[in-house]
Amino acid sequence: MLSNDTAIHTLDVGTMPPITHAHGGCRFCGTPLEHVFVDLGQSPLANTYLKPDQVNQDERFFPLRVYVCEKCLLVQLEEWESPDAIFSDYAYFSSYSESWLRHAEAYVASVAARFELNARSRVVEIASNDGYLLQYFVDRDIPVLGIEPAQNVAAVARAKGIPTRVEFFGEANARKLRREGMRADLLIGNNVLAHVPNLNDFVSGLRVLLADHGIITMEFPHLMRLYAECQLDTIYHEHFSYFSLLTVERIFAAHGLTIFDVEELSTHGGSLRIYAQHTNRGRQPISARVESLRNREIDAGFDTLSGYLAFDQRAQRTKQTLLDFLHAAKRAGKTVVGYGAPAKGNTLLNFCGIGTDLIAYTVDRNPHKQGRLLPGTHIPIYEPERIGVTKPDYILILPWNLKNEIMAQLAFARDWGCQFAIPIPETHLVP
């Protein structure tokens, strides 16, 4: 349960109409949405970290209910808050994850060689964050442009010497760039496709900005992995859509784009990297990996509505195992703290109703989060060094997708017998 301090001063907006109500239609095909994929209850926006003096103010909670379209099978949330309100001042900085930087550097080396990018090429990244990826193209003297809606994050990229525009991307934005002479030989979007409420406008913009023989790469959490491993915490209000290859192929094809290759990645608990080109002008051959993954998704049931409808029960099981662990630790007089303050952790903690009565605090390397409180649960966020001072019995790793990196950083905690708790797919301990 939430502590008494956490349970008060909230504003439930569950009866307020969403900006684009789910029952108004699928954000891709317009079909009325009637089938619930999972209902995670009421939750605040996952990145609205509170300052201590805000704790007694009303806090907005929104339904975190996910639907699946019976026609195109796109899994999607209602839009309760505008992208401008969510992303204009953002707390996530990609460069604080060493493993993510290594991932970005390896990607740049791969695509630069594969597509023969050079000083005459133009690379554009949408949602370029703090320049975590484009910096590696700059190191190779390949011209870049970042498009990032968060002013505070874009300022960090600009300080690194990375040209960055502060704006949201869509068809109108793409046409403006074309009028200025910009066409992208490589158009990148890492973990942005899921964040777009107006999906058709965004994908249409990709088509407009892409050079005739250009390449698009997009990375996003893979719905098949989310489902198989019950990664319910990947769901939060910033993620408007969740994609299988089958569905994203359908969406891109509707806008004159063909997916010619796909890679399955370990990032974010299991992601896809798709490669796309103009359907009528692209030169890249279609990889056998596309058909292979398409067939595996069909075999797993992602081509029929019935294949999506057992997830809600599995989410309840994940919730119960975490609560059982935390209550058992409390009864035994053990101390549990968190590591990380990711958006996914906020989904999990709010879904489970966990507050400071069960988790004393969490830590995060991002100084922009330190000294604040997690939304909804009001668990305080400190610097990682605090763990060595308080010596907890258990550390709950909220960004479990980075568990190996984090456990290596915290190896010293084993000196006093501390164990790591991993909450997904069901809570288990690592000595």
Q: How confident is the model at residue 388 (pLDDT cuts 50, 70, 90)?
A: very high
Quick one: 63 and 13 in the same domain?
A: yes
Tell me what the mean pLDDT of segment 292-299 comes to: 98
Quick one: 252 and 398 in the same domain?
A: no
Supply 404's token pair.
């190996």
Three-state secondary structure string covering the chain:
CCCHHHHCCEEECCCCCCCECHHHCCCCCCCCCCEEEEEEEEECCCCCCECHHHCCCCEEEEEEEEEECCCCCCEEECECCCHHHHHCCCCCCHHHCHHHHHHHHHHHHHHHHHCCCCCCCCEEEECCCCCCCHHHHHCCCCCEEEECCCHHHHHHHHHCCCCEECCCCCHHHHHHHHHCCCCEEEEEEECCHHHCCCHHHHHHHHHHHEEEEEEEEEEEEEHHHHHHCCCHHHCCCCCCEEECHHHHHHHHHHCCEEEEEEEEECHHHCEEEEEEEECCCCCCCCCHHHHHHHHHHHHCCCCCHHHHCCHHHHHHHHHHHHHHHHHHHHHCCCCEEEECCCHHHHHHHHHHCCCCCCCCCEECCCCCCCCCECCCCCCEEECCCHHHHHCCCEEEECCHHHHHHHHHHCHHHHHHCCEEEECCCCCEEEC
**What residue numbers bound the domain in which 409 lies?**
312-430
The string of pLDDT tens digits covering residues 193-243 is 999 999 999 999 999 999 999 999 999 999 999 999 999 999 998 899 999
Would you say residue 119 lies in a domain?
yes
Quick one: 105 and 249 in the same domain?
A: yes
| Per-residue confidence (pLDDT) for residue 252, from 0 to 100 | 98
Quick one: 158 and 55 in the same domain?
A: no
Across all residues in the chain, what is the average pLDDT? 91
Would you say residue 80 lies in a domain?
no
Is the pTM higher than 0.95? The answer reads no
Q: Give the chain's domain count.
A: 3
Would you say residue 261 lies in a domain?
yes
Q: Is a pLDDT exceeding 90 seen at residue 339?
A: yes
Integer Cα distance of 399 and 418 in angstroms: 18
Cα→Cα distances 68→37, 101, 235, Å: 6, 33, 13
Domain boundary among 20, 38, 71: 71
Quick one: 169 and 54 in the same domain?
A: no
User: Residue 124 forms beta bridges with which residues?
Assistant: 145, 187
Would you say residue 88 lies in a domain?
no
> Quick one: what percent of the chain has pLDDT higher than 90?
83
Integer Cα distance of 202 and 214 in angstroms: 17
The string of pLDDT tens digits covering residues 139-169 is 999 999 999 998 888 999 999 999 999 999 9
Domain boundary among 281, 308, 335: 308
| Per-residue confidence (pLDDT) for residue 93, from 0 to 100 | 64
One-letter amino acid for residue 126 of the chain: I
Integer Cα distance of 55 and 57 in angstroms: 6
Q: What is the CATH number of the domain that holds 372?
A: 3.40.50.720
Quick one: 327 and 303 in the same domain?
A: no
Quick one: 285 and 331 in the same domain?
A: no
Would you say residue 237 lies in a domain?
yes
Domain boundary among 308, 340, 366: 308
Quick one: 288 and 175 in the same domain?
A: yes
Quick one: 321 and 256 in the same domain?
A: no
Tell me what the mean pLDDT of segment 33-38 comes to: 96
